[in-house]
Structure 1
């Protein structure tokens, strides 16, 4: 019995597909199949049911799976312990980030790479809800996410930006004469927003639901720059962080939203208790040293 056989078996069980598993472990599909067949012959039992469209565990496979995971975790723990005692940081880091922000994540990752060149780093871009799922599931070691006032359960966070969320309109828009509006003023008006799943959109949807209405989203885009351009053309009120909107005074009029005030936080997040690998702990430590809170008005 070999560790790679257990790794292939666990990956196929999780992916429910030999093809997806082979892509994940970077091995040709026939190689994955052959190693699992070899494992099954050694055990004298089939671990996987290959008869359906999706690969499923047999009863024996269900019984073996937790032990296979434990064996792989134990080996990873041995390697991590040796590296840590030797003062080395190796391995792999999976980092996630929301689409647009002012956090110097490239600088953080570049400095980390300079200090620990043997660590392989991958970066994934997604909406906050997807990144949170990745953190909870253990697929991501850390991520830049957009949050409201509450910290999601099971996570630790380092807040790196905290500022008001505002309405931004063209200078000839009917709301442009108002420096401050209530959230209810936006009821029934065409709004321009990031898509569902983003932190800023979640803040908007939650606040509107508390006020008793559903926001009328006329345009959605994942890039705040596009939202600003649409608002500048008079197509509605864009919901944006204050600093982003205020940086475009020629195109946009910034309107404070009050009663209730909306705020958005950007945070560097990781699983509560800290990452399990030395590389993950080293990244969190460096983030604590280099990323600070930037509060808005």
Structure 2
């Protein structure tokens, strides 16, 4: 039993005539009769009273009519729902980011919502080390990482250039100098993030290279907490520039340059290499590309080979 057979069945029932149903369906009457006979054979029931010439339904035909209407209405609803997805009148955009990379998303999500207000957006907070797995497990469609993933099953596109910045309280002795050597940091107490990352390891290696002790006397769980603690006059911190713009602009924190610490960070969008992205995800990528073209550095849209 297929939908064409049900369409033919309903046409005969509604037109109360095989010939009128054939005209309505733009088919020959023998083709309509053959479709009905095949349907009856598959169901093992007679659907029309053969003694009647007006397409009167049997009891079995009456039962089937109700279900046929439901099935064909569901097909119409499904087609409409798919059309709405294509036209971005419905759907959902699922992303994964951590506390830091989520900040990159905000202006892009603002633009996305302006253009596609009916699409629901959900950003799942995840550890950077787990985002690639979540993408591959289809928990989300797109993830944001500050390092290039090793897994060949995902694509990555560089979308933002950032750097780690040494920040201090405005009353800190370093605040007036604006620049220090890494060896001067050996006596400082660093307020650090308590989650290990590739960038943290690079910083540790740099301090070792210059034979300078790195004292991480305090570890906190969020960037926000780290900034607030340093503002209170507790030590110094290395913070991604993207997450400290507001405090630098207001003077709540001061940036100190360290020429030995050139720690550029590239943010990447990652998604499954072999998968077809949803219409919502494709629309988001188009917005990211246009946004980078119109705003320029530090935004970009550079697919990485792999």
| The two structures share one fold, judged by TM-score above 0.5 | yes
Deviations 1:175-213 (A, max 9, x none): 33442334454346321233315xxx5313223135437
Cα shift readout 1:225-251 (whole Å, capped 9, x = no counterpart): 332221122211121134625624533
TM-aligned CA distance change 1:129 to 1:215, over 3 Å: farther
Could you say which structure has the higher helix fraction?
A: 2
| Displacement of 1:139 | 1.7
Secondary structure class of the residue paired with 1:290 = helix
Per the alignment, residue 113 of structure 2 pairs with: 110
Q: 2:202 aligns with which of 199, 206, 211?
A: 206
CA distance in 1, matches of 2:138, 2:182: 37
Match of 2:174 in 1: 175
Which whole-Å CA distance do the structure 1 matches of 2:132 and 2:296 have between them? Answer: 20
TM-score, structure 1 normalization:
0.56
Q: What secondary structure, in the 3-state scheme, does the structure 1 residue paired with 2:298 have?
A: coil
Greater radius of gyration (CA): 2
Deviation at 1:169, TM superposition (A): 0.9
User: Structure 2 CA distance, aligned partners of 1:132 and 1:144?
Assistant: 9
**Alignment check: 8 A CA contact 1:162 1:294 kept:** yes
**How has the CA–CA distance of structure 1 residues 275 and 95 changed in structure 2, closer, same or farther, with 3 Å as cutoff?**
farther
Answering whether residue 153 of structure 2 is matched by residue 161 of structure 1, we say no
Kept in 2, the 8 Å contact 1:205–1:214? The answer is no
1:144 counterpart = 2:140: no
Gaps of 5+ in 1: 1-78
Q: Secondary structure at the match of 1:267?
A: strand
- Displacement of 1:276 in angstroms is 3.9
TM-fit CA distance, 1:273: 5.3
Output the CA distance in 1 between the equivalents of 2:278 and 2:251. Answer: 48
Compute the displacement of 1:136 (Å). Answer: 3.5
d(CA) in 2 for partners of 1:216 and 1:91? 48
Q: Match for residue 267 of structure 2?
A: 266
Q: 1:276 to 1:164 in 2, by over 3 A?
A: closer
Aligned-partner SS, 1:234: coil
Cα 1:113/1:194, change in 2 over 3 Å:
farther
SS at match of 2:267: strand
- Deviation per CA, 1:97-151: give whole Å up to 9, x if none: 222424414314414643xx3x554321233223233223332101333x14x45
